[in-house]
Amino acid sequence: MSDFLVIGSGIAGLSFAIKAAEHGTVTVITKGKLLESNTAWAQGGISAVLPPELRDPADDCAKHVADTLDAGAGLCHEDTVRIVVEEAAETIEELVDWGTDFDHEEEDPSRFSLGKEGGHSHRRILHAKDTTGREIATSLVETARKTANITILENHYAIDLITTGKLGSVTDDRILGAYVLEIETDEVKTITSPRVILATGGCGKTYLYTTNPDSSTGDGLAMSWRAGASIANMEFIQFHPTCFYNPAASGPEARSFLVSEAVRGEGAILVNDEGVEFVKEHDPRGSLAPRDIVARAIDTEIKRTGAPCVFLDVSPLGDHFTERFPFIHETLLSYGHNALEKPIPVVPAAHYQCGGVVTDMNAKTTIRGLYAVGEVAFTGLHGANRLASNSLLEGNVMARRALAEIMRLYPPGKEIPDAPEIPIWESGNAAPPDELVNIYHAWDELRRTMQDYVSIVRTDNRLRRAAYRLKNLRREVKEFYWGHTVTPDILELRNLVATASIIIDSAQLRKESRGSHHTLDYPNTESRFESDTVLRRF
């Protein structure tokens, strides 16, 4: 029994764990290593309107709110947006206290160096060169490791949530804990807790091309859905416009290497193979338009020309490129590309889920005792399209609010209802080696189906084709899951199939184009769809 069970080790999960440890015992589980998270992969930065003496005097919270609402295409929850934006300065103060070292201005070291990204009207992005996420993640990991009351279990994969509803109760649906696979021993453990915090990140690996790490397989979303939680707005999958394109490069890191939006914020421009700045034909902001607009412009240009990619020209930055983005420059060199000599070939890739497990403004889900923070959660902040660099901010703010809500309603030490007896996990037989090919084939079919039919531009016909294929895959995966001992590969495939199905169902319900959901059958935005797509299990 742990007072708090945190599933995930990015900014949301570790921010919660560090603060919750002041009030009780905390168990943090992560299916890989602590630094294998979306947070650690984030390059650009974290947005925040700082106190007046530290920011652009022309900027303020109202303008950050307005930029977020504009990017969200009419679906942001304004009350949530205001809360997150107004608590940003507190987040930066907290991260600095935990050891995060953001860049400062050379001429005035007392001030943070602030960048600008697509959709932002002012410079308000704090960064640590071009490895901001790793800087934040590293400081959080170091703080968590030396914090009393925190137990960290790496290489532990959460299989399913345990709730009273799943154990047969019809009047009380509350969280009891989770079944967890210890990967190194193949042992399935039962970890109990009346307060479970999901911080599992996103689902980028649902697609063939993604900027996400291999761990982003929709685990928290799928587990919540099976447990009966409500899910919203999963049709809105944001594609990052600039993923490095090099078919000759080998390895998943090369194929999913992100070229930060901050590069465009500093002056780089998107051009086609003739050097034309084509994005301005779609939006007067050009390369600094919101991500959904830029990604669709690239998709249109690739289809128009038949070229495999477009190009990011960093020549306007001069020497500032290598000074501001040393990690990107060195990584590109390691893949055989010198951005100072020729533009960077780029394509859009799945990047961020704007929907997720439905929560209120305090991270509380529809299951009592279950909270969701970070990318896995749907708070209403992002609407139909996330504003760049708002995600790290949201993860920390909502972790703080989740803890405050738990301490108000259900603090450790408060008497809790008796829990029903939790069944011991029963494992099947290990899958024969020659059957493992079924898993790898299903994984490949799933990701190609999503990439071809449920990507940047959709149609009813493509969505129907995808739904048909996912129906068959669900049946095959179900048989494999129940018939054999669980392994990380089986669990990830099971969660990917569930998540992909939710994305397709959500997309079929929205008969319009809005934000990052664009369909050729319904090219206009319709006022009657100015509401969230909520899926519920009954």
Q: Which residues are catalytic?
A: 291
Q: How far apart are CA 82 and CA 102, in angstroms?
A: 24
Cβ-Cβ contacts under 8 Å for 458 (sequence gap 6 or more): 507, 517, 518, 519, 520
Other Cβ atoms less than 10 A from the Cβ of 176: the count is 21
Could you give the CA distance from residue 321 to residue 328 in angstroms, rounded to a whole number?
9
Place of tokens 């809105």: 236
**Six-digit token pair at 405?**
């809500």
Gap between the Cα atoms of 387 and 120, Å rounded:
8
Give the pair of three-digit tokens for residue 104: 């400062």
Residue 421 class from Cβ within 10 Å (0-12 exposed, 13-18 middle, 19+ buried)? exposed
Helices 391-409 and 88-97: angle between axes, nearest 10 degrees? 90
In this structure, are residues 86 and 80 in contact, taking their beta carbons and an 8 Å threshold? no
Angle at 287 between CA 448 and CA 59, to 5 degrees: 120
- C-alpha 15/C-alpha 292 separation (Å) is 29
Positive/negative CA dihedral, 436, 440, 443, 446: negative
- For the four alpha carbons of 273, 276, 281 and 287, in that order, the dihedral sign comes to positive
The neighbouring-strand residues paired with 210 are: 350
Rounded CA gap, 435 and 430, in Å?
10
